[in-house]
């Protein structure tokens, strides 16, 4: 949904030296399109993956000082801005989940379709790997992760199978884990819904990278960093992400005044205006070109007045 992402941040058109933030830089495709579309803007690209940063720096070098790549997780946005003396930004983009580059680099261990070491770290300098989660987490914790992060119906059954296998020898590779998950799920269930290991691999990736905890901090902080008139655009790829994004944006778009008051007291008015009706989904044409976008949900909101969404959520 490249065109939608770029047009969503058109607040940058109205401001000389507008600051945009691509919180999930990846290979720099969105950032390149934003820098091209908004020639008066500068852009900060955040990513936790050093390989992605190196590749995007090469790709976006022609934009010179208008672009800066930053090694950071997106919940660190306030610190990134403070270090550069930036008080407010005019657009923030999130393209959540694992990137195509990470999926396609077999040695990273994100994909159940390839046999590779169990890794799944977005930042390979981070200590926790999928190998450690699979081979050391208690059955109860594995069950919770598979159930909550992967929405796996047979979470306990899969967790018990993992524990039984690792008791004989450590589970070292993605191929072994994918087959173990497949064998753990009833045959009738395996006939629909894609590869049986898909949900388990998603759950492990989320745990290894702390994705939902990070997202829970990042979206409110990004909204609070926006200037009035600035916009936030978020692409999410599974219901857990989209549910949280929806909650944060809805909190900003509602009045906090008690019901029944004829006039909303100062400070209780909506902070955000929702610009998408529900979540926008990819067109059939895009799905033909990019099947990986099938589960994408796109939400956009504009900041209409000052105030803190993070403070509202903390009440």
Domain boundaries, the chain: 2-101+211-314, 106-209
Please say if the pLDDT value at position 274 is more than 80. Answer: yes
Mean pLDDT of 27-53: 95
**Of 134, 94, 125, 138, the residue nearest 232 (C-alpha):** 94
Mean pLDDT of 116-136: 94
Residues contributing to the annotated binding site for S-adenosyl-L-methionine: 28-30, 47, 74, 95, 102
87 or 11: which leads in pLDDT: 87
Question: What is the average pLDDT score of the chain?
Answer: 91
Residues contributing to the annotated binding site: 28-30, 47, 74, 95, 102
Mean pLDDT of 178-183: 94
What is the pLDDT, as a whole number, of residue 57? Answer: 97
Whole-prediction pTM: 0.89
Mean pLDDT of 184-200: 82
CATH of 2-101+211-314, one of 3.40.190.10, 3.90.230.10, 3.40.50.150, 3.60.150.10: 3.40.50.150
User: For the ranges 139-143, 156-160, 290-294, which has the lowest average pLDDT?
Assistant: 290-294
One-character DSSP codes across 9-63: TGGGGGSTT-EEEESS-TTSHHHHHHHHH-TT-EEEEEES-HHHHHHHHHHHGGG
Mean pLDDT of 231-245: 92
Q: Which two tokens stand for residue 217?
A: 């901090």
Mean pLDDT of 287-312: 86
288 or 235: which leads in pLDDT: 235
Contact 46, 77 (CB under 8 A): yes
CATH number of 106-209: 1.10.150.170
Please say if the pLDDT value at position 244 is more than 90. Answer: yes
What is the pLDDT, as a whole number, of residue 192? Answer: 67
Other residues' Cβ atoms within 10 Å of the Cβ of residue 188? 7
Identify any residues that bridge with 235 across adjacent strands, giving them in sequence order.
95, 298
Contact 118, 129 (CB under 8 A): yes
Residue 67, phi then psi, degrees to nearest 5 = -125, 140
What is the pLDDT, as a whole number, of residue 292? Answer: 66
User: Which of 20-30 are b and which e, b meaning 16 or more Cβ less than 10 Å from the residue's Cβ?
Assistant: bbbbbbbbbbb
Q: Do 2-101+211-314 and 106-209 agree at the fold level?
A: no
Please say if the pLDDT value at position 149 is more than 90. Answer: yes
What is the pLDDT, as a whole number, of residue 193? Answer: 65
Beta carbons within 8 Å of 35's beta carbon, 6+ residues apart = 41, 43, 60, 63, 66, 67
Dihedral-angle region of residue 210 (phi above 0 means left; psi in -120 to 50 means alpha; beta otherwise): left
What is the pLDDT, as a whole number, of residue 264? Answer: 75
Please say if the pLDDT value at position 99 is more than 80. Answer: no
């Amino acid at each position: 949904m490249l065109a939608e992402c770029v047009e969503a941040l058109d607040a940058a058109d109205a401001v000389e030296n507008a600051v945009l933030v691509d919180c999930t830089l990846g290979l720099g495709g969105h950032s390149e399109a934003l820098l091209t579309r908004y020639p008066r803007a500068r852009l900060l690209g955040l990513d936790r993956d050093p390989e992605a940063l190196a590749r995007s720096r090469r790709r976006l070098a022609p934009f010179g000082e208008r672009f800066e790549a930053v090694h950071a997780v997106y919940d660190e946005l306030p610190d990134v801005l403070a270090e550069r003396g930036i008080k407010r930004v005019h657009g923030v983009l999130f393209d959540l989940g694992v990137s195509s580059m990470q999926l396609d680099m077999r040695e990273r261990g994100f994909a159940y379709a390839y046999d590779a070491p169990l890794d799944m770290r977005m930042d390979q300098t981070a200590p926790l790997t999928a190998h450690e989660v699979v081979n050391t987490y208690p059955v109860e914790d594995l069950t919770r992760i598979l159930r909550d992060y992967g929405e796996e119906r047979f979470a306990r059954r899969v967790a018990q199978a993992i524990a039984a296998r690792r008791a004989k020898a450590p589970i070292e590779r993605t191929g072994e884990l994918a087959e173990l998950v497949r064998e753990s799920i009833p045959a009738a269930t395996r006939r629909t819904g894609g590869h049986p290991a898909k949900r388990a691999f998603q759950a492990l990736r989320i745990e290894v990278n702390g994705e939902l905890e990070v997202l829970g901090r990042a979206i409110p902080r990004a909204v609070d960093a926006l200037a009035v008139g600035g916009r936030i655009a978020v692409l999410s790829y599974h219901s857990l992400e989209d549910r949280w994004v929806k909650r944060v944006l809805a909190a900003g778009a509602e009045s906090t005044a008690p019901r029944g008051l004829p006039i909303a007291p100062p400070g209780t008015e909506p902070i955000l205006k929702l610009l998408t009706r529900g979540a926008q989904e990819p067109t059939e044409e895009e799905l033909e070109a990019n099947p990986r976008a099938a589960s994408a949900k796109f939400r956009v909101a504009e900041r209409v007045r000052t105030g803190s969404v993070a403070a509202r959520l903390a009440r």
